[in-house]
Copies of this chain bind each other. A is one copy, B any other.
Amino acid sequence: MVAAGALDTLNLPVLRDDKRSISCYLLRMSLTDAEFHKITSVAFFQEFPTLILRSLVENSNIKTLKHRELLYQAGDVANSFCIVIEGAFKLVKPTMRGDDVIIHFATAGDAIAALLMNRPLGPYPISAISMGPSRALCIPRSTYVKHWSDMPEAQKKLNALLQTRMVLFHEDKALNKASLPQRISALLLNLLGRQEHSESQTIPIPLTRQEIADSLSVTVESVIRVMSLWDQQGLIHTQDQRIEILGLTKIIDIYKQE
């Protein structure tokens, strides 16, 4: 028999609804009290009564990832979905041409691959890769089917997340025609706005120029040319892939430039 950890990281089919014989195995995957307590602080899970919450995370486990580790691989069978607990993940879609496109940055409270759970078992359409040390609660498809699928409250929570992401897509699309400086500033402001402590002006995710380029579908060089200028002007400062916004009002001006 394969060890639990190995299965876990390989993201292979772990559960079958109809098999009771592996329940002892499932138990090992359940959350500890400490872990359970941790997730109650995630915005997504608040408002749920403890008992219900227990069932929502049945047989789930928290995956801890370092910088740039693979959570989901595009093409793998979608046996589970995730709620981001801390850190961030980039959702990456490979293209025909070989260059990757970053579809979305999922930060704390965000769901990954949740929509797939309502559909027949199939492959993940995108890869999810951690950005900085991150944690995600991985919930097996079987638990979704058993406890989420028919619980309107859970569905509504997921729908709310989708709505938010849909709005982001719309804004993104509306900015397609804008100049590169505008699009970069929009991205930075968006990511900056996600952190809790709004007094900090540092983007809470390690972010390379390449990732910015992949997110905006432009080349690294173009991103660098814009951001180097900002650097010279003292508008931003980058240290260890952490981008600090020094001239917020200036950046906002660039963004709003009509």
Residues of A within 8 A of B (CB): 93, 95-97, 99, 101, 103, 115-116, 118-119, 125-126, 149-152, 155-156, 158-160, 162-163, 165-167, 169-170, 172-178, 217-218, 256, 258
Q: Is the CB of A93 within 8 A of B170?
A: yes
Identical subunits present: 2
Residues of the B chain whose Cβ atoms lie less than 8 Å from the Cβ of A158: 159
Closest to A257 in B: B96
Q: Are B170's CB and A126's CB within 8 A? A: yes
Taking a contact as CB atoms under 8 Å apart, the answer to whether A93 and B152 are in contact is no
Residues on B with beta carbons closer than 8 Å to the beta carbon of A96: 174, 256, 258
Contact (Cβ within 8 A) B174 A101: yes
Knowing A115-B162, A125-B167, A152-B152, say if A258 contacts B97 (CB, 8 Å): yes
Query: A119 to B256, Cβ gap below 8 A?
Result: no
Q: How far is the CA of A93 from the CA of B173 in the complex (A)?
A: 9
Asked if B258 and A174 sit within 8 Å, CB to CB, the answer is no
